Structure 1
């Protein structure tokens, strides 16, 4: 095989102000009670995994190289859950440790506490202070109560959902694997992110308050292609964000928030346990299609192109899944809807590429004898030194365990990932495959470690 180059207790409505207010008919202390078969780890965390997580926690900062995110817990836990050997897990440390920055000491004379913690949100240099604060809270109050209280605080939730969803992903790993260390890191990471997604989240809430009428294009799993085709062809967005924008996400937030809100509110999530289950299923389908079916042009030498930004929408879906059982029905609805809103934002920023699941399922890689089973795919994931491939593969595997094969959607997306990034040693696409100009040139932004 070829390796790639490195590249709780019920709560009140905690997302209030993020999206729409819930129907008063719902009891706020009713939990979602997801009955999923999605596994956490294949086995309890071993002493080696626990010791490596502790070393990362004690030694490494959340940010390095000017703002890239520390992915070590994501990759380590994903490799572990996919069955990696201890040798491979130790190798992950040796691969990532040289690039990561030292944690450093907390900023002096700033004692973070339950009264002042909101005052420093968005300032990265306070990460050690926040980490100490959340370490103490998680030890005192537990993982779930601390996560629910702080991650879904109305002031912090826009930051949790910013940074390409990295804080959400990190918190999700902490909750899923019952790791106090990873949970505290994720909460500290959220507190040191600017709430850049707040404008689109606020616009979505305000739009729904003013527009309660039904639409002919209510969003659901059967209408994913139709929905995104309509958004792709919406002339109001033409020219708003171009391939020449240095920060396409910022330009999208600045110029397109009202249109994003309009489309986001076409998803009507039923506020019942069954409705939340169905919405999660829809989110898994949506993010899989955005990740795996948008960079396809049969016969083009660059196809398939797997967008580095859209992949995070997908892997964050697993984090959302693991948080939902600890939220009320109303807060669960808001988290799912907010995640969807972020998906629309990045879909526009990446150039509104066509969503083509039929083409995805027809790709010849489905016949590859080396990629017939999940065990084969996992072996390639172990070979890869990429920080995201194991996470993508594991999330797809869990989706199949939750929802069945569904025409081989999940395993086909995994095959495409492995074939492109491991077997053929390809790179993540950073140009935006929805921009026609990017199909005629080599990628300008090859994979540089992580984001």
Structure 2
């Protein structure tokens, strides 16, 4: 794989396709997919083939926006998804084509002169904006950076103004994973018949804040990031039924989203990182409750049995790149994220590797896939035939 091929595909996608598609409901994943494939060692030909034959099915050409976005009005249309093209054009003008575009990129994200900084909205839209931000940095791609700013702007939602600005919990005494596990065991946590609408859970601020304030946030931000990341791994990989291995489409975004925060941390000041971590934990509570509080059983990862010849990343990467899994963006991102985590945090008795092997060995590659339909390899949608080990 060469950067020339990757950069060319990223540039083409930026010029042709807007960041939202399917009636502005779904987010573009092209940069994530290409970047994760490249990180795992995909060839130039494979990148081009998957982009041409798969990614283009999940993208739409730009549609004209109601009006131009300028320095004077750019905050006025935040959250309005009709402005994909106008924000793309605006941010494309703002980021320098020569020299250090990253400086201006983060200046735009962190600007708080006329309101909340845009980065505070980056966890909106099921964390897709912050994932896009991290891939812009990881790929050193100015086009992806313009897309990331655009996606953040048009996806602003109620998380942009969280309750009480979510100060770090002052008197918490529990770890993040412990808080999550206790939600399921307590009678006053909601019991849902099916996955709930995110916004309906988000409205229950008093309940969410009660759980949120139980967390003892580590003073060391690196430790806080590692703790929340490992919590996300367990929520992703240790919440299925003991006899039926499945992975939830919504909850997997906690894993890739937390990895995104880790990726961009070096570019942010301490207070910004704290805000993102607080908002992430609050969002994790919302998502965990909305997906009916599946039981978190660490043994489903820690004691997962693996054949000796599979106990290596070469097996994981080969199965990811050389089966149908390569065409499923969320799978590729999850595997790339887990592999990077082991490089950062160490083996932890195979914690990340076991989760990756479990993923590639149990995601269904035989059924025909129809993106965002029930025959995807993921579960968690209201019409899915299977479910995690949820609270009834």
TM-score normalised by structure 2 residue count: 0.87
Question: What's the counterpart of residue 237 of structure 1?
Answer: 189
Question: What's the counterpart of residue 338 of structure 1?
Answer: 279
| In structure 2, C-alpha distance between the alignment counterparts of 1:276 and 1:90, rounded to whole Å | 39
2:194–2:292 CA contact under 8 A, matched in 1: no
**2:104 aligned with 1:156:** no
Q: CA offsets, 1:161-186, max 9 Å, x none?
A: 11110111111100122111101101
Shift of 1:343: 1.1
Shift of 1:319: 1.1
Question: What's the counterpart of residue 351 of structure 1?
Answer: 292
Report matched runs for 1:21-420 at 5 Å.
46-66=3-23, 67-94=25-52, 95-107=54-66, 110-139=67-96, 142-152=100-110, 153=112, 154=116, 156-198=118-160, 201-203=162-164, 205=166, 212=170, 214-215=171-172, 217-219=173-175, 224=177, 226-239=178-191, 242-244=192-194, 247-254=196-203, 256-271=204-219, 275-295=220-240, 297-299=241-243, 303-364=244-305, 366-367=306-307, 369=309, 371-382=310-321, 383=323, 384=325, 385-420=327-362
Give ranges in structure 1 of 5+ residues lacking alignment: 1-42, 438-451
| In structure 2, C-alpha distance between the alignment counterparts of 1:338 and 1:194, rounded to whole Å | 14
Q: CA offsets, 1:173-213, max 9 Å, x none?
A: 001221111011011011111413246x225627x6xx84x
| In structure 2, C-alpha distance between the alignment counterparts of 1:330 and 1:269, rounded to whole Å | 14
Question: What's the counterpart of residue 433 of structure 1?
Answer: 388
Shift of 1:411: 0.5
2:109–2:149 CA contact under 8 A, matched in 1: yes
Shift of 1:158: 4.8
TM-score normalised by structure 1 residue count: 0.76
Q: CA offsets, 1:9-56, max 9 Å, x none?
A: xxxxxxxxxxxxxxxxxxxxxxxxxxxxxxxxxx8x511111100110
Question: What's the counterpart of residue 370 of structure 2?
Answer: none
The higher-RCO structure (CA 8 Å, 6+ apart) is 1
Shift of 1:436: 5.1
| In structure 2, C-alpha distance between the alignment counterparts of 1:340 and 1:265, rounded to whole Å | 10
| In structure 2, C-alpha distance between the alignment counterparts of 1:81 and 1:266, rounded to whole Å | 37
CA RMSD, Structure 1 to Structure 2 (Å): 2.3
Shift of 1:86: 1.3
